[in-house]
Amino acid sequence: MGFLNWVKGVDHKLEPEALESQHTVPTADDILQALNKTADMAHRANLSGVVTARVDRVSKAVRDVMPLLEREGLGSQDSYAIMATATDYLPEALGAYLRLPREWADSRPVDRGRTALMLLIDQLDLLTATMDKILDAVARADATALVAHGRFLNARFGGQAGAGDLELGEVAGTPPEGFPASEGSAPATRSDGNGTAAHPEPPAKRSTQTGPGPTPRNPLDLDF
């Protein structure tokens, strides 16, 4: 075998084998495990409360919008942003900071006067704001659907809401005109001609005397 053939054989061995790219779509459990792993990494590193609080905020924001993944899958841009934040953006930002010497990262300016700690805080705030915007958009869409459904119900049933109600002028238990009221019932009212009810007339008193009454006394008669 000649020298050139030997070199070609070595070069062939050094070339990476062509592998088919396999993309595994993370499940909801994978995303939650990634969040837990990142949170544990932040707390084990004894980072300042400024950093750990922001890591927890990002984790909570992702958990709040997790129902969007269950409804829409990973087909939308927002769903992909949720997945990538939990499995890539958040752990990568924290890992890059932890790979630096702590004192150097917190005191040495590296980008337009900002230290690595400042850059990490800005990135964590950006991730939290992005998750909050996604959650707000989802909540507003659901609220709009609720409002539209309420308008549909109002248009469908709103005009018939008072169809079976009694008129306010009717009095329950009042007999029709021309029929005597039953014993114990309230006296019927009469109208004064203007559409308003007048006070009921008291019933006439009946005399209980059965025999002839006494003779009226003459005021001119004097007693002696």
Beta strands in 47-153 (DSSP E): 109-111, 114-115
Higher pLDDT, 66 or 218: 66
**CB-based contact 96:88 (threshold 8 Å):** no
- Give yes or no for residue 105 having a pLDDT over 90: yes
Residue 136 placed within a domain: yes
- Give yes or no for residue 53 having a pLDDT over 90: yes
How confident is the model over 123-162, as pLDDT tens digits? 999 999 999 999 888 888 888 999 999 999 999 998 554 4
75-84 in b/e burial notation, b at 16+ Cβ within 10 A?
A: eeebbebbbb
What's the confidence (pLDDT) of residue 66?
86
CA separation for the pair 123, 30 (Å, rounded): 23
Give me the residue label for tokens 């922001």: 54
What's the confidence (pLDDT) of residue 10?
40
How confident is the model over 13-43, as pLDDT tens digits? 444 443 334 467 788 889 999 999 999 999 9
**CB-based contact 74:83 (threshold 8 Å):** yes
What's the confidence (pLDDT) of residue 120?
96
Residue 117 placed within a domain: yes
CB count, 10 Å around CB of 181?
12
**CB-based contact 58:90 (threshold 8 Å):** yes
Residue 95 placed within a domain: yes
Share of the chain above pLDDT 90, in %: 43
113: left (phi over 0), alpha (psi -120 to 50) or beta: left
What's the confidence (pLDDT) of residue 38?
95
Residue 49 placed within a domain: yes
What's the confidence (pLDDT) of residue 68?
74
What's the pLDDT band for 94 if we cut at 50, 70, 90?
very high
What's the confidence (pLDDT) of residue 28?
85
Q: Tokens at residue 199, please?
A: 């006070």
Higher pLDDT, 176 or 125: 125
In this structure, of 13-22, 26-35, 54-63, 82-91, the range with the lowest mean pLDDT score is 13-22
Higher pLDDT, 205 or 75: 75
Number of domains in the chain: 1
Mean pLDDT, all residues of the chain: 74
What's the confidence (pLDDT) of residue 101?
95
What's the confidence (pLDDT) of residue 126?
96
What's the pLDDT band for 171 if we cut at 50, 70, 90?
very low
Residue 90 belongs to domain spanning: 25-144
What's the pLDDT band for 73 if we cut at 50, 70, 90?
low
What's the confidence (pLDDT) of residue 193?
53
CA separation for the pair 118, 114 (Å, rounded): 6
8-25 in b/e burial notation, b at 16+ Cβ within 10 A?
A: eeeeeeeeeeeeeeeeee
Residue 35 placed within a domain: yes
